[in-house]
A and B are shown apart, each in its own frame.
Chain A
Amino acid sequence: MGNGKFAKEFAKGIILANPVFVLALGLCPTLAISTSIDNALGMTLAVLIVLLGSNIIIALIRNFVPNITRIPIFIVIIATLVTVVNLIFHAYLPATYEALGIFLPLIVVNCIILGRAEAFASKNPVASSIADALGITVGFMLALLMISFIRQVLGTGGLSVFGHDLFTLPGLRDHPIAIFILPYGAFLVIGLLMGLFRRTGVMKNE
């Protein structure tokens, strides 16, 4: 496989098939944990490990798996990877583990993971599946970072990443626009961003 194809599979996930803004997949974690950049990065790391692992394994075994047991096998593999990530996060990244809460185990039913397994990795060789996983994860990460940035800055009046205060907005610090950090703000931000992307033609309508 040439570099060109690898690059194409990689780039596709970022804009044209952005999992969040275009495909509207993986919405639950996107909305729930996009309250801070820290959480967004933690979630991205977890999704990266699981998606990369499941895409590689499924691309490797795709020729042996009979159709009838395909889904159960995929689910077992994904659930195992998620449990491994859970245990590792619990042991080595306890703060992130706490912050992500049930959305860490819920990666099992994240439509992005099973969706890519079904639609891509079960039909393509390992190399393209790796490119696909990386592209989709970067697309997911960009969407998460964008939403988290807006919510954290407007909702708390400043930006701090892993305990380092990067900047504060003087007026907003004391009177943050709380709705952005509240659950409802997540819906508002993602709806407006999606509309904006369509209006400017960056992403196409469904």
Chain B
Amino acid sequence: MNELFAVFLGMVLINNFILVRFLGLCPFFGVSKQLNSAISMGVAVTFVMAVSSLATWLIRHYILIPLDIEYMNIVIFILVIATLVQIIELFIKKTNLGLYFSFGIYLPLITTNCAVLGITLINTNQDYSLSGSLVAALGGGLGFTLVLAMMSGIREKLEMANTPKSMKGLPIAFITAALLGLAFVGFSGII
């Protein structure tokens, strides 16, 4: 239990997906302009990360390892993720249209979000148990959402600020991310 908590906390605050591991940067700079869309995106990514971790763990332990074809993991994992994203999108569209419009539109983007493939590969490399994989996925997703939301809040304010012309947009967003990352260093002593 203690170890799972350490994994979780480490994923959220210390080895943050965006700031330290550099996973999921494309949506980070693309979507993080508005708080609402950032949170919706974060929730969608977290959900897909958790479901993918579960599915790939089962596939790895019950198919890939017994058949000794672990080298296929990249191909299989990305196909599983793409399929899952399609199913989830269809399911949400059919059952809850409001939900679909609030975050379903981000789903197609998630297949190529490296945070999702990243968590499945981290689970594999670290050889986490099933519960460990799930906790890591939820922690990673929460850390992703947290930073995405903070960043969008800052960027909303930055729009109003008097930024030099050549630094407007992406460059200043990168500098902001650097400062945010430095602030997160403070958490590194926790575990």
Binding site for B on A (CB under 8 A): 24-25, 27-29, 31-32, 71-72, 75-76, 79-80, 82-83, 86-87, 101-102, 105-106, 108-111, 114, 179, 183-188, 190-192, 194-196, 198-199, 205-206
CA distance A86 to B121 in the complex (A): 13
**What are 21 A-B contacts with C-beta separation under 8 Å?**
A32-B21, A72-B79, A75-B78, A79-B78, A79-B79, A106-B117, A111-B26, A179-B182, A183-B181, A186-B22, A186-B178, A188-B174, A190-B174, A191-B173, A194-B171, A195-B172, A196-B166, A198-B171, A199-B166, A205-B168, A206-B169
Interface centre among A27, A80, A109 (most CB of B within 10 A): A109
Question: Could you say which interface size class chain B belongs to?
Answer: 35 or more
Q: A192-B171, A198-B165 are in contact. List 6 more A-B contacts (CB 8 A).
A: A102-B121, A109-B111, A183-B21, A186-B22, A191-B174, A194-B174
CA distance A199 to B171 in the complex (A): 11
Stretch among B45-53, B69-77, B130-138 lining the A interface = B69-77
CA distance A25 to B27 in the complex (A): 11
Q: Which of B74, B169, B171 contacts A83 (CB 8 A)?
A: B74
- B37 within 8 A of partner (CB): no
- B34 within 8 A of partner (CB): no
Please name all residues of chain B whose beta carbon is closer than 8 Å to the beta carbon of A114 when the two chains form the complex: 112
Q: Does A105 contact B178, Cβ atoms closer than 8 Å?
A: no
A69 to B: closest C-beta gap in Å: 12
Known: A184-B182, A190-B174. A86 touches B169 (CB 8 A): no
Q: Does A82 contact B167, Cβ atoms closer than 8 Å?
A: no
Binding site for A on B (CB under 8 A): 19-26, 29, 71-72, 74-75, 78-79, 82, 111-114, 116-118, 121-122, 125, 164-175, 177-179, 181-182, 185
Please name all residues of chain B whose beta carbon is closer than 8 Å to the beta carbon of A109 when the two chains form the complex: 78, 111-114, 116-117
Interface of chain A, main secondary structure: helix
Q: Does A206 contact B170, Cβ atoms closer than 8 Å?
A: yes
CA distance A184 to B41 in the complex (A): 23
Q: Does B175 contact A32, Cβ atoms closer than 8 Å?
A: no
Known: A188-B175, A191-B172, A195-B166. A82 touches B74 (CB 8 A): yes
CA distance A71 to B83 in the complex (A): 12
CA distance A110 to B172 in the complex (A): 23
Known: A106-B117, A111-B112, A183-B19. A76 touches B75 (CB 8 A): yes
Q: Does A28 contact B114, Cβ atoms closer than 8 Å?
A: yes
Closest 3 CB pairs of A and B: A191-B174, A187-B178, A184-B181
Please name all residues of chain B whose beta carbon is closer than 8 Å to the beta carbon of A86 when the two chains form the complex: 71, 74
CA distance A109 to B167 in the complex (A): 28
Using CB atoms, name the residue of chain B closest to A86.
B74
A29 to B: closest C-beta gap in Å: 8
Known: A195-B171, A205-B168. A105 touches B121 (CB 8 A): yes
Please name all residues of chain B whose beta carbon is closer than 8 Å to the beta carbon of A192 when the two chains form the complex: 171, 175
CA distance A179 to B178 in the complex (A): 10
Q: Does B170 contact A194, Cβ atoms closer than 8 Å?
A: yes
Q: Does A72 contact B25, Cβ atoms closer than 8 Å?
A: no
B79 to A: closest C-beta gap in Å: 7
A71 to B: closest C-beta gap in Å: 8
